[in-house]
Amino acid sequence: MSRGVPADDTAGAGAGGRPPIGPPDARVVARFAGPGTFARLPTLDAVGRAEVAIAGVPFDAGVSYRPGARFGPQAVRAGSKLLRPYHPALEVQPWDVHQVADAGDLAANPFSIPDAIASIETGADDVLARASTMVAIGGDHTIALPLLRAVARRHGPVALVHFDAHLDTWDTYFDAPYTHGTPFRRAVEEGVLAIDASAHVGIRGPLYTRGDLDDDAGLGFATVSTLDVARDGTDAAVARVRSRVGERPVYVSIDIDVLDPAHAPGTGTPEPGGLSTRELQLILRGLDGLRLVGADVVEVSPAYDHAELTALAAASAVYELLGLFARQASLHRHRPR
């Protein structure tokens, strides 16, 4: 495996105290060559242990409308090849501060939702045995439930910051309790969320009934709608989320349909009038300093994509998350003992 960009004095340690292994330098090895992993990072198998593992979860049997998110992980990895090592807004090198690696894809039965949920949970446990944290690439939003279970087992109930056009707290679809529209109601019922610290961001669009928003609020969620962001700006959205989350361990779940279909057409349930990619980036950067313990980016369905818009936006969201993890690690390292 080629070494990444030369480590500077902010570089941290990989497994066994050696410097982290990064991607091949794109100024030497063309970025369209080399490994098909996220950002051309090494595999988790190659490095043994990582601080942050990226895992694909190619499952889409929980969707209610357009399918195809099973092909999301490979599309987002392809869209990640242009990412460069330095994040200027966060002033950090996401894969130089600590080891980041691609754990490959978690197994999921496409014919049985309960089987898939069980194996995703087991797969997440396996990855988390070799990595401190994980960023999952879906897959449809059903996968958030088993991922939250695995994270809550390690950290206790987590604050959820959920970016989505949709609430995803409905009870059932066609009597099915486990779907991409229901994961967060199940998560509340299972006690894996710190509900008083959780919030949806980007909610918009038509609902089933007038009572849907009240039902969701009744579960305990706060909501920063897309209209709130449009009216009050991203700083106000960040302030509301931060005051909600406080010191809690936080899990960030990003349904790419939080973006406007102009920014992310390749998704299963597009809702016009959404956030721009830039607004999402700004809100994510605003989470710097929170205690991030896990994340996912879901619902990329490449068959409906154009010009890789959605795959690029999703890869950018993962990059923002990696930037937050790296900031957290370097803050920790420089904190006096």
Distance CA 136, CA 48 (A): 18
Q: Are 183 and 147 in contact (CB under 8 A)?
A: no
Nearer to Mn ion by Cβ, of 4 and 274: the residue is 274
User: How crowded is residue 72: how many other Cβ atoms within 10 Å of its Cβ?
Assistant: 32
Nearer to Mn ion by Cβ, of 51 and 296: the residue is 296
Indicate whether 60 belongs to the interface with Mn ion (CB under 5 A).
no
Q: Which stretch binds Mn ion (CB under 5 A): 23-31, 58-66, 114-122, 158-166?
A: 158-166
Q: CB of residue 258 vs Mn ion: minimum separation in angstroms?
A: 7
Pick from 181, 105, 110, 190: nearest CA to 146: 190
Nearer to Mn ion by Cβ, of 216 and 288: the residue is 216
Distance CA 249, CA 266 (A): 31
User: How crowded is residue 300: how many other Cβ atoms within 10 Å of its Cβ?
Assistant: 33
Q: Are 158 and 152 in contact (CB under 8 A)?
A: yes
> Residue with structure tokens 């004095």?
9
Running DSSP on this structure, what letter comes out for residue 83?
-
HSE-CB at 204 with a 13 A cutoff on CA atoms is 22
Which of 164, 288, 305, 320: binder of Mn ion (CB under 5 A)?
A: 164
SS3 176: strand
Q: CB of residue 3 vs Mn ion: minimum separation in angstroms?
A: 38
Q: Which stretch binds Mn ion (CB under 5 A): 167-175, 186-194, 285-293, 309-317?
A: 167-175
Nearer to Mn ion by Cβ, of 21 and 264: the residue is 264
Q: Are 128 and 285 in contact (CB under 8 A)?
A: no
Query: What is the total count of residues that contact Mn ion (CB under 5 A)?
Result: 7
Nearer to Mn ion by Cβ, of 121 and 168: the residue is 168
Q: Which stretch binds Mn ion (CB under 5 A): 29-37, 103-111, 133-141, 305-313?
A: 133-141
Indicate whether 168 belongs to the interface with Mn ion (CB under 5 A).
yes
Q: CB of residue 253 vs Mn ion: minimum separation in angstroms?
A: 8
Nearer to Mn ion by Cβ, of 168 and 288: the residue is 168
Backbone angles phi, psi at 136, to 5 degrees: -95, 145
Indicate whether 141 belongs to the interface with Mn ion (CB under 5 A).
yes
Q: CB of residue 161 vs Mn ion: minimum separation in angstroms?
A: 13
Dig out the tokens for 73 from the structure: 């992980």
Q: CB of residue 148 vs Mn ion: minimum separation in angstroms?
A: 13
Q: Which residues ranging from 209 to 268 are in contact with Mn ion (CB under 5 A)?
A: 255, 257
Backbone angles phi, psi at 305, to 5 degrees: -85, 160
Distance CA 66, CA 123 (A): 26
Nearer to Mn ion by Cβ, of 35 and 274: the residue is 274
Q: Which stretch binds Mn ion (CB under 5 A): 82-90, 139-147, 309-317, 324-332?
A: 139-147
Q: CB of residue 255 vs Mn ion: minimum separation in angstroms?
A: 3
> Residue with structure tokens 């242009």?
82
Nearer to Mn ion by Cβ, of 12 and 56: the residue is 56
Q: Which stretch binds Mn ion (CB under 5 A): 84-92, 110-118, 163-171, 205-213?
A: 163-171
Q: Are 105 and 27 in contact (CB under 8 A)?
A: no
Distance CA 157, CA 248 (A): 9
Q: CB of residue 79 vs Mn ion: minimum separation in angstroms?
A: 19
Q: CB of residue 164 vs Mn ion: minimum separation in angstroms?
A: 4
Distance CA 40, CA 32 (A): 9
Nearer to Mn ion by Cβ, of 257 and 296: the residue is 257
Residues that bind Mn ion (CB under 5 A): 141, 164-166, 168, 255, 257
